[in-house]
Chain A
Amino acid sequence: MKTPDWKALAAVPVAAAFRLVEAPFHAVQRSFGITPMPWLFLAPNLVIFGVFTFLPLVINFYYAFTGGVELYPSQRPFTGTENLAILFDCGNHFDPSTCRKDLFWRAIWSTAKFSVLQVTLMVLFSVITALVLNRKVIGRGFWRGVFFYPVLLSPVVVALIWKWILQREGVLNAFIAAAGGAPLEWLTSAGWSFFWVIFVSVWAHMGFYTLILLAGLQAIPKDLYEAAQMDHASPSRTFWRVTLPLLMPNLLVVCVLAAIRAVQIFDEVFVLTGGGPGSATTFIVQFIYQTGFMEPIRLYGLAAAGSLVLAAALIVLTLVQLRIAGERDAKRQ
C-alpha cells in the first residue's frame, strides 16, 4: 500500500491560509506604497493590546466608581468614590476587625506580611544557591537544572505536589511519626499554612532568581579576585568589597521582580489552601477574584476598586524597578 504524502497534503491548506494572509498585505502595498506597511504589520498586536489591555484599564476605572451588580457598564449607577470609601471604612486600618470590609484589610496585611517574608527568604536562598553554583562544582549544569526545574511547573501542579506531601496522612507526617513526633495538621492551622504558602512559593520560584544572580556573578571580572588575592584580602573581605557591591544591581532587580510577583500571589495558594483556614492565607488577588467572581452577588465595582489599590502598589514597585534599571544602564556607559 502506498502511504499518502502527508507533507504535500498538509502543504495545500497551509499555502491557502497564507495566501489569505498575504493578500491584504499585497493589496495595501499596491495601492498605497510602502508607507502604511509597518502599521499593517503592527495592526494585530495593537488591536489585541487595545482591546484586552488598554480598554480594560479604562473600564476598570469606570467600574471602580460605579455600583450595582450589572456587568454592562451603561447599566451601572455612578456612585463616585463609594467603593473606595467602603474599602477604606475602618476604625483602625491596622486592625481588620474594625473595618467594614474586614476581608480586604486582612488580605492587604496578609499580602504585606507574605511579601516581606517571601521576598527576604527568596533573595537569601537565591543568593546562597547562586554563590554555591558559582563555585567550581562538578556537574554544574546538572545542579543548576535541579534548582531550576520547579520554575517550569504550573502553579496548580506545584500546589498539588505539596498538598499531597502535607496532607494529614502524607509523607511529612509519616517522617514525623517515625521520628516519634505527633502528626500535625499542616494546612488547617493558620500559622503553619502561612508558613507553607511561603515555603512552597520560594520552592517554586527560587530557581528563576538564582539564574539571574548567577549570570550577575559570572559577569564579575576574574582579575578583580586575582587582585584581591595578591593583596592578601581575606575571603570575607573579598565578599563584602568585591562580590557584593558588583552583584548589587542584579540583587536589586531580583528584589523588585520578586516583590512585584509576591504582591500578586494567587494561583498556588488558591489551590493549596483555598485562602484558608478561615482567611489566614487570603491575599489581595484572591479578594478581587472572590468579590468579582465567586460570591453569589458579584460586586464588580468593589473588585475593580480593590484592583486599583493593587495597581497603586505595583506602579510604585515598577517605578522603583525602572529607576534601578536606569541607574544600572547609566553606570555601564
Chain B
Amino acid sequence: MIGFFTRTRGQGRLDWTDWFTYGYLTIGLFLMFGPVAWLVLSSFKTESAITEFPPRLLPMGQKQVAVPGEEKPRPVYRVTLPDGTTRELAELRRIGLTSTMVDPSRPDEPIRVPIDQRTPVREFKLATENYTDLAGKFDFGRYLWNSVFITIVATVLTLLFNSMAAFALSKYRFSGQRTVFLLILSTLMVPPTIVLVPNFLVVSELGLLNSLWGVIWPAVATPTGVFLLRQYMLTLPDELIDAARLDHASEWRIYWRIVLPLTAPALAVLAIFSVMWRWNDFLWPLVVLSKSEKFTLQLALNAFQGDLVTQWNYLLAMTVITLLPVTLVFAFLQKFVTQGIASAGVK
C-alpha cells in the first residue's frame, strides 16, 4: 500500500498506482470544486425551483413565449388533447379547472383544456433576478460598500505601517532593535480570540463601536506583514541607502523613493494576504458592528441565514458575490499566495 506513494511512473504505461493517483485526484476535484459549483448553479435557480426536491442539476425555468396580442410572454405547457395527441401550447388565462390555451403561431384559435391535462414545459434558464433584485430588496449595496471600504483602507494602511516598521527593523542599527522585533513577533501568540472582551472595551472607549474604523485600526499592524517585509528588505543592499544619504536624501525619501519600490514583490504578497484577511474577517466585525447598516457582506450573510424563513435564492446569490473576489485572486494570483505560504508559513 505504502509502496504506491514512493513509486514513480513507469515509462509509457500506467500501473495501478497511477490509476489510484488519478482516481484520488478525480474524487478530490469532485469534493473540492463540486460544492462550490453546486452553489453557483443553485444561485441561478428561481425561488420555486430552489425548493424542489429532489433538486435538478441545472437551473430550469418554465418556457415562455410571446403571443401576438398579449402584453406579457405566456407560459408554455405540453397539453394532451382529447384526441390523444400532445402539443405545446401557451396559456392565456386560467379560470378554475379550465385553462384557455393557444398555439402561438395561431393566436386566433383558443383551446380550452382541463388543467390536469397539461404539464409545464421547462428549459434551461438562469434566474438572474436573484442577483439584480439584491440591490433593491436588501441593503446589499451598503454591505458591499462596507466590505470594500474596510478591505481597501485596511490594506493600504497595513502596507504603509508594516513597511515602515520593516524598514526601521532592517535598515537601521539601534539599541532595543532586537527587543522590538521580538515584541512584534510575540503578538503572533495573541490570537484575537483571546483578547475579545478587553478589545471590545478599548474600541468602545475610542468611540469606534459600530464604526468601520473599529474593524480597521486593530487590523492594520500585523506581525506577519512586518516579518515578511523585513525578511525581504534585509536582502536589499545597504550601499543604496548609504549612497542616497551622501546625496543628502532625507530618511523618509530613502524609505519612500528607494526602499519601498524595491520591496514591491513582497508588498504584493502582503497586499493579497491582507485583502483576503479583511474580506473574510468574521468574529471581530461581529463583535464591533452590531447595527445592520454597518454590516459587512460576511455579517449580512450570517444574519440572513439565521432568519426564520431563509430566502435561499437570494442568500446563495449573495454568497456567490462574496466569494467572487477571492476566486479572482485564486485564478490570477495563486502563485503569489502559495509563494507567501511557502516562504513565511502563514495564512
Binding site for B on A (CB under 8 A): 18, 22, 25-26, 29, 34-35, 37-39, 41-42, 44-46, 48-49, 51-60, 63, 71-73, 128-129, 131-132, 135-137, 143-157, 160-165, 169-171, 173-174, 177-178, 203, 207-208, 211-212, 215, 225, 234-236, 238-240, 243, 253, 257, 260, 264, 266-267, 270-271, 274, 285, 288-289, 292-293, 300, 303-304, 307, 310-311, 314-315, 318
Contact = CB atoms under 8 A, between A and B. Distances in A.
A156 B25 contact: no
Contacts of B256: 18, 22
Interface string B297-316: 01001100110000010011
B201 A29 contact: no
B140 interface: no
A152 B165 contact: no
A52 B298 contact: no
Nearest to A71: B201
B44 interface: no
A154 B282 contact: yes
B32 A146 contact: yes
Q: Which of B3, B172, B191, B218 has the most CB of A within 10 A?
A: B191
Main secondary structure of the interface of B (DSSP, over half): helix
Contacts of A225: 6
B2 A318 contact: no
17 contacts: A37-B168, A45-B184, A136-B9, A147-B32, A149-B36, A154-B282, A157-B319, A161-B35, A162-B35, A169-B53, A212-B341, A239-B2, A253-B345, A260-B191, A266-B193, A288-B196, A292-B197
B164 interface: yes
How many residues of B sit at the interface, in one of the four size bands? 35 or more
Contact of B190 (A57, A143, A285): A57
Interface in B311-333: 312, 315-316, 319, 322-323, 326-327, 329-330
Contacts of A56: 195, 198-199, 201-202
A33 to B, nearest CB: 10
A248 to B, nearest CB: 16
- Which of B28, B168, B196 has the most chain A CB atoms inside 10 A of its CB? B196
B93 to A, nearest CB: 32
Given A72-B201, A146-B29, A25 B42 contact: no
A143 to B, nearest CB: 5
A293 B82 CA distance: 67
A173 to B, nearest CB: 8
